Amino acid sequence: MVAVMSRIKTEEQADAYKTALAQYDRATQHLKDVSEDIIEYMRYPRREFAVNFPVRRDNGMVEVFTGYRVHHNTVLGPSKGGIRYSPHVTLDEVRALAMWMTWKCALVNLPYGGAKGGVVVNPQELSQGELERLTRRYASELIPLINPQMDIPAPDMGTNSQVMAWIMDTYSMTMGYSVPAVVTGKPIPIGGSEGRTEATGRGVIICMMEALKQHGEVDADKISVAIQGFGNVGSNAARYAQEMGFKVVAVSDITGGIYNPNGLDIPAVIEHARATGSVQNFPEAENITNSELLTVECDVLIPAAMENQITAANAHEVRARYVIEGANGPTTPEADDILNDHGVFLVPDVLANAGGVIVSYFEWVQDLQSFFWDQDEVYRQLRRIMVKAYDFTLATAEKYKLDMRTAAQVGAIERVAAAIKMRGFYP
């Protein structure tokens, strides 16, 4: 049992990083004006940190956990990126996610580099007390690496605003004064931003609407949407899509999915999932599996769960005409080719899910200035930056005759490369 588990983990870890590097290698072929040494330099993480630390469980036993933080690139500013709690976390997965953060921040023009962190743990198996002790110990191990000028963590899969509050408190207690800007995605009363929780899901739908508009599809009620993943990103994307008049026909979480061709009532699904712990068995919907969700009849597919979901094995069965990536790395390069051949229009992760880090940036700015914005201001600025990044990606795609994935990577890598060239190699 244990041997099989660890073999699965190894394959997953290889995949995410393999995907990130393959995308990079594809994109850099189009960068004729960027020198080879800069291309080679950007391919590697700047620094990697691994830590093993003890946590006392409620039963008195001490268990040792492993955590990571990778800073991929810091040329444009402090590194930025979430912290993931998942049993599948590996150093290679964190490397891939950190690299994607570099391209994401550059693409949407934030003054940030890319980072990511993770702890190998299933947070569902810990009590609140255990989760707090694990978070505080991991945060204290990270102290040499994080601060508002150097590296600013945020939530990701398996972490939330409470975890960010504990990180902020641990850092602040060590310093002797409150430092809200050390982490984003905090609760609003301690320096969090309006609109941060729903920002990623909202940004996904803003991108979907831009893609539909570009293709002349303006009647929301004629568009059906299927969403894989019902965590922070998937559930908020579903809610906002419905608010904007779209028909959300399928959603899924880790337990499986539900489908109703006439559309699901998303607030009711959210309530059902909260009450029963799963979206499945929702009245007036048919239960489906997570893999069936990806191939369900719909116009737009939003993978918002995790990496490597659309692969060479299932890409030819995708019936959607649009794929808008809410998750990081949900599509492998082989699947990208298949979707392209089938005429599917894909909006890549580094663009589609950038809403989270954009509002994280607003939070950091508000914390540094101790001056807070209202929700309307956050939504307005989020929309402005997302649409600008969408237009920039589309213009890059047209200029180089590329698909949106490669265009997003090319546009982002060009910006980072230009900054490296201006700054020069030290010493």
What is the contact surface with ligand GLU in residues (CB under 6 A)?
A: 80-82, 154, 156, 184, 328, 353, 356-357, 360
Q: How far is the CB of 100 from ligand GLU (least distance, A)?
A: 7
Q: Shortest CA distance to 145 belongs to which of 173, 120, 175, 115?
A: 115
Nearer to ligand GLU, 242 or 353 (CB): 353
Which residue type is seen at 406?
T
Q: How far is the CB of 297 from ligand GLU (least distance, A)?
A: 29
What would the two tokens of residue 244 be? 């904007």
**Count, residues in the chain:** 427
**413 φ/ψ angles, rounded to the nearest 5 degrees:** -65, -40
Q: How far is the CB of 64 from ligand GLU (least distance, A)?
A: 26
Taking the C-alpha atoms of residue 67 and residue 141, their distance in angstroms, rounded to an integer, is: 9
Separation of CA 403 from chain center: 20
Helix, strand or coil for residue 327? coil
Run of H or E including 163:
helix 161-175
Nearer to ligand GLU, 184 or 228 (CB): 184
Nearer to ligand GLU, 170 or 360 (CB): 360
Q: How far is the CB of 160 from ligand GLU (least distance, A)?
A: 11
Catalytic residue among 116, 186, 222, 388: 116
Please report, for residues 18, 19, 20, 373, the alpha-carbon distance to residue 14 in angstroms, rounded to integers and kept in the order given: 6, 8, 10, 42
What would the two tokens of residue 71 be? 């800073």
Helix, strand or coil for residue 242? helix
Q: Shortest CA distance to 403 belongs to which of 346, 354, 323?
A: 346
Residues 6+ apart with CB under 8 A from 383: 206
Residue nearest to ligand GLU (CB): 82
Q: How far is the CB of 83 from ligand GLU (least distance, A)?
A: 8
Q: How far is the CB of 200 from ligand GLU (least distance, A)?
A: 7
Nearer to ligand GLU, 16 or 38 (CB): 16
Nearer to ligand GLU, 100 or 392 (CB): 100
Other CB atoms within a 10 A radius of the CB of residue 265 amount to 16
What would the two tokens of residue 37 be? 């040494």
66 and 119 in contact (C-beta within 8 Å)? Answer: yes
Nearer to ligand GLU, 23 or 280 (CB): 23
18 is catalytic: no
Active site residues: 116
